[in-house]
Amino acid sequence: MEKTSCQFCVQMNVDSIPALKASKIRLLEALQHEDADIDCLSDAISTDPAMTAKIIRLANSPFYRHARQHFGLHQSLLTIGMDMVKCIALSMAVMDSLGCEIKYARSLWSHSYATALIALSLSSDHVEKDRLFTGALLHDLGRMVFLSKAPEAYSSLFEFEGYWPDMSLENDVFAIDHTVLGETVARAWHFPEETIEVIRNHHKPASRTSALVYLINHVINQYEKGDQSATSPGNRLIHSYLGDMYKDLVNLIIQRYKINAVIIENLF
Ligand SMILES: [Fe+2]
Ligand SMILES: [Fe+2]
């Protein structure tokens, strides 16, 4: 594969990525408020048929629905909870810009939803939850951009590796890796610095937030590759950011991953 032409085609295409839709941004801002009024949210979401359909479909999936009656939007929001609604709203905003019909997008979104839901459940407080959410859901934004803007080249790397290509291979082929590419797009979308920090550093942590996403990503990657032993990474950096408890976190992440995998399956 010709490096310079791939680099050129990714860069050209990144420049043409549209901004996130203002209506989705407004909805995400409304969702950030702990005391968000469910009727107002329901009104705002109901103007978006695709999002409404996704939320209702999930709430009426066997995982959530134990009663016979069909849930409408209002009850669906209460049923799946605000964390899940946030994941759906932000992911659909990104899909609007990058496209959602791209090959392998589903497995990348499954991975991203799992990372975000586990990260939210491990947050120590509301402030950390806010800080983690966007970064955890979009930590692999650069891979989404590769899939969207250089679909054939990136898909063939995925097929060759049998899993997501590592950063050195991305650098060899595209002269940029998914952490730097993700950071570039996140800056163009004016995401907050703490989100950009996670996207940039989720493979070499530089804060407690990026260390948490690193650890969750590491465990999920092992599971997705079929290695059920899921050992902790034994990384001194992780220890310095997460303390002695980080090995216990691995078991917690595995438990949450198994629960969330059933929910995420119903999202597609
Ligand atoms: Fe990554
Ligand atoms: Fe990842």
151 C-alpha vs ligand 1 centroid, how far in Å? Answer: 17
225 C-alpha vs ligand 2 centroid, how far in Å? Answer: 12
In this structure, are residues 120 and 129 in contact, taking their beta carbons and an 8 Å threshold? yes
Closest ligand, as measured to the CA of 166:
1
The confidence score (pLDDT) of residue 174 equals 92
Closest ligand, as measured to the CA of 113:
2
Neighbours of 34 (CB within 10 A): 9
Sequence ranges of the chain with CATH classification 1.10.3210.10: 101-268
44 C-alpha vs ligand 2 centroid, how far in Å? Answer: 31
Q: 35: Cβ–Cβ under 8 A, 6 or more apart, which residues?
A: none
186 C-alpha vs ligand 1 centroid, how far in Å? Answer: 14
164 C-alpha vs ligand 1 centroid, how far in Å? Answer: 8
SS (H, E, C) 185-230: HHHHCCCCHHHHHHHHHCCCCCCHHHHHHHHHHHHHHHHHCCCCCC
264 C-alpha vs ligand 1 centroid, how far in Å? Answer: 19
- Structure-token match 């898909």, residue found: 155
In this structure, are residues 186 and 141 in contact, taking their beta carbons and an 8 Å threshold? yes
Closest ligand, as measured to the CA of 221:
2
Which token pair is 35?
């005391």
Q: Kindly report whether the global pTM for this prediction surpasses the value 0.85.
A: yes
pLDDT in tens, 86-106: 889 888 889 888 877 778 888
DSSP 147-194: HHHSHHHHHHHHHHHTSPPPHHHHHHHHSS-HHHHHHHHHHHTT--HH
199 C-alpha vs ligand 1 centroid, how far in Å? Answer: 8
The confidence score (pLDDT) of residue 11 equals 65
Torsion angle, CA of 108/54/213/132, rounded to 10 degrees? 140
140 C-alpha vs ligand 2 centroid, how far in Å? Answer: 5
147 C-alpha vs ligand 2 centroid, how far in Å? Answer: 14
The confidence score (pLDDT) of residue 32 equals 74
**Could you state, in chain order, the average pLDDT of each consecutive group of 10 residues for the chain (268 residues)?**
56 74 80 77 86 91 76 90 88 85 85 92 83 91 92 92 93 94 92 94 94 94 80 77 85 89 80
Which token pair is 244?
């002695």
CATH of domain 101-268: 1.10.3210.10
The confidence score (pLDDT) of residue 143 equals 95
Closest ligand, as measured to the CA of 225:
2
Which token pair is 72?
């409408």
Distance CA 260, CA 115 (A): 10
143 C-alpha vs ligand 1 centroid, how far in Å? Answer: 8
193 C-alpha vs ligand 1 centroid, how far in Å? Answer: 18
